[in-house]
Structures are given as C-alpha cells and as structure tokens.
Amino acid sequence: MAYLIIDDDEDITDLLQQYFAQFQIELAVALTPSQGFALLQERAFDCLILDVMLPEMDGFAVLKRIRKRSNIPIIMLTARGDVTDRIVGLEIGADDYLPKPFEPRELLARCQSLTRRASSDKADSGLIAYRGLSLNTRSKRVWVDDREIHLTSMEYDMLELMASNRDKVYSRDDLLNELKGIDAELFTRSIDITVSRLRQKLRNSHNRQFIQTVWGRGYQFVGEDA
C-alpha cells in the first residue's frame, strides 16, 4: 500500500511518514504541486492526501488537474474554517476532507476507508482499471489513454483473463486451456501472434508495455493501479 501527500509543511509530512510506516504503508512526499505531478506520472498510488494551501498553485487547482486524468481517491487537508472551501473541494472531485489540526490516526482511517470503497466500486461496476488502460467487462469495451480501441473477441478474452490476474505468468498451454471453448480460432492461430497484435493495439502515449514476456515461462500482465 502506498499513499502520496502533497503538502509543504515538512513537520507534518515527516510525522505522517513515521506514523503510516507503523502500519506498513509507504507515504511518498511532495512539497510542491510540480513534485506531486511528477510522482503521479512515475508510479501508482492508492490514495492522495492534498493540502489546500500550497506554493505554485492552491490545492483546488491541483485537484482539478489531477481529476482530468485520474480517479485516485483524494482527501483534502484544510486549515481554513470556511465551510464553503470544503464544499468546493467536494464538488470539484475530492472524496473527503479533514480540517487541520488533525490526529494522524483519523487521517489514516479515512484513507483506508477511501481505498476500500474504491476497490469495491471497481468490482461492482465491472471495471478493470490500470494506469493508461481500462476494461468494462460488462460491455467488453477497452480504452487506452481515454481512447477506445477495438479488439477481436479472441484478443479481448485474452486481455480480460490476464488483466484480471495481474502478475500471474501464463504459459502458452495455460492460455489455450483457459480460453478454449471461448474462441475455437485460438486452436488454429499462434498464441504468440495474438499476443503481438494485442501489444500493438494496447500501445499508449508513454509506450508502456502491458504484456511482458517472461523468458522460458510465458506471458505476464504488468499494469499499474490507476
């Protein structure tokens, strides 16, 4: 579990890092919005803790920018007493807010609640979402970088199988056994060719490779959490 906090108060961020570590939760720290944006580009986080009062731009502007690209659970920290600020934050995409000063224990509990809710919502909606890739298992539609792509039934079934079991290594025989009966064409076409075509269609703006070859063993889906 990894969270990100964007807050320029180093006393608070140091305290929270130490507290969260007791619960095996990594807390990455960004002291400015630009540092936060860079970290969000580099890796996936389970929750974002966002202060309202920041250098470069305020937390509301940061929130709007993040919400254009990500549904990461976000809890805002505010030292302001104005209820309007809290309402605005919720209206433009924050999931929760906590006024300063606060107890680290309460912040952790709220973050954990948001991450559990996010996981449950994804399961209920039939959505499989990774950074740069999402599948709707009900409609069998796929998007890469918010651009819908079209797959054959064989390609889609292979992608859904692997994306539903991230990090599991599938041999060629595993894929044939899992997918047989879904598409008989699998038995007359090469698994390797199907994977190659799927990789080409899934290529995104960052050239991220969602399906990797594990030499001597098979293939593995390696998407990052959205």
3-state secondary structure of 162: helix
pLDDT at 188: 44
Query: Sign of torsion, CA 42 144 119 116?
Result: positive
pLDDT digits over 34-54, tens only?
999 999 888 778 899 999 999
**End-to-end alpha carbon distance in the chain:** 13
Q: Which CATH number fits domain 128-221: 1.10.10.10, 3.40.50.10490, 3.90.1170.50, 1.20.140.10?
A: 1.10.10.10
Share above pLDDT 70 across residues of the chain, in percent, rounded to a whole number: 87
Token couple for 179? 């997918």
Q: How confident is the model at residue 71 (pLDDT cuts 50, 70, 90)?
A: confident
Tell me the whole-structure pTM to 2 decimals. 0.59
pLDDT digits over 2-17, tens only?
999 999 999 999 999 9
Domain with residues 2-123, CATH architecture: 3-Layer(aba) Sandwich (3.40)
User: Backbone phi, then psi, for 133, in 5-degree steps?
Assistant: -150, 135
Token couple for 218? 């098979």
pLDDT digits over 82-139, tens only?
666 677 777 788 888 888 889 999 999 999 988 887 766 555 557 888 888 888 888 8
